Amino acid sequence: MPKKKRRCDEAQLKWFEEALERIKKATGARTQVQLAEVLDVRQSSISDAKRRCSIPADWFLKLYRSHGLDPDWLSEGVEPVYIDADKGKVPADTLLRETPAPYGRMNSRGRVMPVSTMAGADKEADTWEAKSIEELSVPESFCRPKLLVVKADSSSMEPVIARGAFVGIDRDQKEHPDGDLCAVYFPHQGLTIRRVYHQGETFLLKADNDKYSDLEVKASEMDSRTIGRVIWVLQNLTVM
């Protein structure tokens, strides 16, 4: 059998990470040490598998014998979860709700994500850190490697973003194209979401709601204050 490529492409890595996530959820293994114990392998074997983006076939066999899991579900997310449900340690409904959708079926399920306040863990700190207050099931196609979900606590961007809306922010995107929605941190206030415009030595942060004043940030500080760019909003529509 020919060896797999040593370097993974994006699709292979995505498949591996999602399959590994299903294994962790089904076995309750939260760390690599725990996962190695469940699979009865060395930790280095898990690192090798990740480097190759390949899960050894005998892992699937072990998980069937120990947990009754269906190899097709582990590998591709194809139901049923269990071949031998009597050995299952986690209800199948729970696993189907909490595990990511398989690659190639991007809209079939959601991924449960933590939702943070806009104030964050400590709004007086120099840098912003998330503070989870609830969870949200996000469509798989809406997810990103560094996705942050916050709950809007202001009406400054209404009607585009209503107070109480769930806002997806890609922390990998910190560019500032004019007119784009960005999440910017202000110490003592928390996050604010505004449309950003570059004006020489400053950035103008404009609200969509005319009742709110525009803000300014020095261009030299903008990169460090920017948490990311808004990529989606989930909210109820109000019928006028």
Residues 6+ apart with CB under 8 A from 52: 4, 6, 8
Q: Is 106's pLDDT higher than 50?
A: no
- DSSP 8-state secondary structure symbol assigned to residue 69: B
Q: Residue 4: its pLDDT value, please? A: 44
Per-residue pLDDT tens over the stretch 68-95: 999 988 988 888 889 988 888 888 877 7
Domains and CATH numbers, the chain: 10-104 (1.10.260.40), 113-234 (2.10.109.10)
Separation of alpha carbons 165 and 157, rounded Å:
11
- DSSP 8-state secondary structure symbol assigned to residue 169: E
For β-strands 226-234 and 166-170, DSSP reports them as: antiparallel
Per-residue pLDDT tens over the stretch 179-233: 999 999 998 889 999 999 999 899 999 999 999 999 999 999 999 999 999 999 9
| Least confident residue range of 5-19, 48-62, 135-149, 172-186 | 5-19
Q: Residue 239: its pLDDT value, please? A: 43
Q: Residue 218: its pLDDT value, please? A: 94
Q: How confident is the model at residue 109 (pLDDT cuts 50, 70, 90)?
A: low
| Least confident residue range of 16-20, 95-99, 144-148, 236-240 | 236-240
Percent of the chain beyond pLDDT 70? 90
Top-confidence residue, 166 or 12: 166
Per-residue pLDDT tens over the stretch 36-50: 999 999 989 998 998
Q: How confident is the model at residue 155 (pLDDT cuts 50, 70, 90)?
A: very high
Task: Please count the residues of the chain.
Answer: 240
Backbone angles phi, psi at 83, to 5 degrees: -90, -40
Contact 143, 169 (CB under 8 A): no
Please list the helix, strand and coil fractions of the chain in percent, rounded to the nearest 5, in that order.
30, 25, 45
Interior/surface letters 159-176, b for 16+ CB within 10 angstroms, e for the rest: eebbeebbbbbbbebbeb
Rounded average pLDDT over 149-161: 93
Q: Which residues pair with 202 in a beta bridge?
A: 199, 218
**What pTM was computed for the model?**
0.56
Q: Is 100's pLDDT higher than 80?
A: no
Q: Residue 92: its pLDDT value, please? A: 81
Top-confidence residue, 103 or 206: 206
Helix (H, G, I), strand (E, B) or coil at 47: helix
